[in-house]
Structure 1
């Protein structure tokens, strides 16, 4: 019993460190309108600054996604916290647009280092028989941390002084505390190798996995794209079209999408993979439809419903996609296939968002948003149709 309590304590402390790192990645979300006023850049620039984070995550996943298997979890997590701290410093020093790009790139590096290493650490720290609960802890702190970022920054920007500085100073303090905690936690990798043994991972999908991977990747792409648009564009839409200038409200709307994703991922464990993926696609489609209604009718209530419904659908679909792809993959290719799925997902959080930014100039934010929704809707409908004709096997 004492060993179990200690294991869960380490698991939860590792999860708390994970949450702090992920909080920093979404911290600038409600602050983008303030940066636009300060530096005078366009909505396209906002989306490119935001997408720089995703490209950094993809780079780390491809080049060093398996580094913690060799050198240990704690060293990689410490590197991630170092990048998170450097990102906060960049935002604190932001006197020009280049600082924002640097801050987002460093934030992406921290998330890329943490995504695999922290998930593995939380699961490996759990006592025997606790894998399912530890998996949910890792999922919850990941999405929960992403949701806490805009909520924390929005509240501080609205109700405290120095809106462009206090959120990052607060996060820097949290990173320092997390570093102190991590230094006291045990390592979970027994046999460690030199960093020189780490090789870039080559994404790949074996032929037998492709029938499952196609719809799973499409659903993941759309779900992360929806998150990307909410995170990068919704504060500007709320301010310009709904006259919502309260930064706390903007942050809460984005946070609801991430918190709802956690609920969707919890529900996915109960409904099973066979139903989670098509049900998640249905939730994503409903979320897109509600977002279209919000853009057309300029209603805050529909924006909130879209965040909750789309976030829940994303959680269902993504956990279903991970389970289906992992179950269909041969053991010796599983890590590469899952890395490929994450690369597709992070492309979804970046490329469509930049497209929205490009279309905002000639079409306006509403028109660009509707084009995005139409394109994502086609992908979701195609994936859902495929899954109804060829359901994911129950054994995956």
Structure 2
């Protein structure tokens, strides 16, 4: 009996040692995929800074469009086309940046993207026509496409395999906080500083220079193994991760489409409701929208992914209901509530989607997976607001916003029902 017990103990110890060795080997493999040993936590925060800096640029032009419309002269339809050039650049970038980043490394993608962002600052600051605005927005979109794929994956690489939850949270919050900070800075500086359409881009250029320095020092290495297949392709995920991607897109896409509408046509709505062209007010509304997107992610981070995604879909639906009420009642307070709900919807959809991908996709394919999530989100975010912009020129902003709100309400409802009908892979903590 004693010998049997001793044999059982020895077997258990050996199995435990084997599992430990296997886990250690897996950890070393993850370290090789992620670019080296785990970095200090402060480096994880700093790795998210380039994402924030580029997203400051992404929406910095929003409060300035009323000035360019006055000085250059173009319609709401043209305004949404300018916005759409950003989407075109972003989607084109996503077709290549994720794959290239996974194969040659994060830095070779991020550094050229930051260079394009600096060029966009120069063009914005000196723009005298629609063509210049189109080029600047195109360059901005390309830079953003690179940071949402390579930049967000770099945050996960620096965090290491044991801190995927905090990596998803910081990468997602870096994106939405930068997206909100840009229009706030632009609105304030354009009102109180000389050069209303130039000063903010000088400040933003300084922020981008610090982001370049952060990327140069970032503790990530080039991947040791190169993937197979075309370098330019519609980004996707490994076999078996399609459900996670679809769930993320189902909620993230309606959420970011709602915030895109507020960014592109929100100043026009405020002008109609408030009879004011204050850039500070327009910038502040965008800022609080993305501040809500940032804060809600910290609030819900410990909930299950399924709960986060469901709440994101509900928030986007409520945002569309309040948008319709706002434009028919001419209520600024209800419009701001709609913006806050839209921000919360995007934030939760984004966090849930990134968390699903971080948990299930290997590091060597993570940048491409991030690109796939954003392609799924930004396609409707580009198409619907542009369509509504032209529709509003024909039938009026109130009816155009009503049609948009009704359509997106239905899309968000379908996304929420899809999440509730799915249990596998979305019930673990984010």
Q: So what's the TM-score if we normalise by structure 1?
A: 0.89
Tell me what 1:25 maps to: 58
Q: Give the gaps of 5 or more residues in structure 2.
A: 1-36
Is 385-394 or 303-312 further displaced after alignment?
385-394
**Residue 300 of structure 2 corresponds to residue 271 of structure 1:** no
The structure-2 alpha-carbon separation of the partners of 1:207 and 1:297, relative to structure 1 and needing over 3 Å to count, comes to farther
Aligned position for 1:247: 279
Distance 2:418 2:158 in 1: 38
> What per-residue deviation string (whole Å, max 9, x for no partner) do you get for residues 292-341 of structure 1?
11111111111111111221122222322344466677999876555333
Partner of 2:334: 302
Distance 1:203 1:11, change over 3 A: closer
Asked which structure has the greater CA Rg, the reply is: 2
More displaced, 102-111 or 361-370? Answer: 361-370
- Are residues 1:218 and 2:221 paired? no
Query: Could you say what secondary structure the match of 2:396 adopts?
Result: helix
Change (3 A) 1:239 1:17: same
Between the aligned partners of 1:390 and 1:74, the Cα distance in structure 2 is 37
Instruction: Choose 195-204 or 157-166, whichever is displaced more.
Output: 195-204
Correspondence for 1:202: 234
Question: What CA distance in whole angstroms lies between the structure 2 residues aligned with 1:336 and 1:81?
Answer: 19
Structure 2 counterpart of 1:261, from 283, 293, 306: 293
Separation in 1, partners of 2:368, 2:226: 21
CA distance in 2, matches of 1:213, 1:191: 23
Query: For residue 355 of structure 1, what is the aligned residue in structure 2?
Result: 387
Partner of 1:153: 186
Aligned to 2:27: none
Shift of 1:195: 12
Residues 325 and 128 from structure 1, CA distance in 2 versus in 1: closer, same or farther, beyond 3 angstroms?
A: closer
Structure 2 contact 269–397 (Cα < 8 Å) conserved: yes
Does 2:144 match 1:111? yes
CA distance, structure 2, for counterparts of residue 260 and residue 177 of structure 1: 26
Check whether the contact 1:23–1:145 (CA below 8 A) recurs between aligned residues: yes
Q: 1:257 to 1:380 in 2, by over 3 A?
A: same
Of 391, 405, 412, 1:380 maps to: 412
CA distance in 2, matches of 1:139, 1:383: 20
Measure, in 2, the Cα distance between the counterparts of 1:324 and 1:121: 17
- Distance in 1 of aligned mates of 2:368 and 2:107: 22
Q: Which residue of 1 aligns with 2:315?
A: 283
CA distance in 1, matches of 2:97, 2:161: 29
Alpha-carbon distance in 2 for matches of 1:81, 1:331: 23
Q: CA deviation at 1:159?
A: 1.6
SS of the equivalent of 1:349 reads: helix
Which of 122, 125, 132 pairs up with 2:165? 132
Match of 1:176 among 185, 209, 218: 209
- Which residues in structure 2 correspond to 1:307-346 (within 5 Å)? 307-324=339-356, 338-346=370-378
1:85-143 per-residue CA deviation (whole Å, 9 max, x = no partner) reads 01011112211110000000000111111112221222222367444323322222111
Is the CA contact (8 Å cut-off) linking 1:64 and 1:201 kept in structure 2?
no
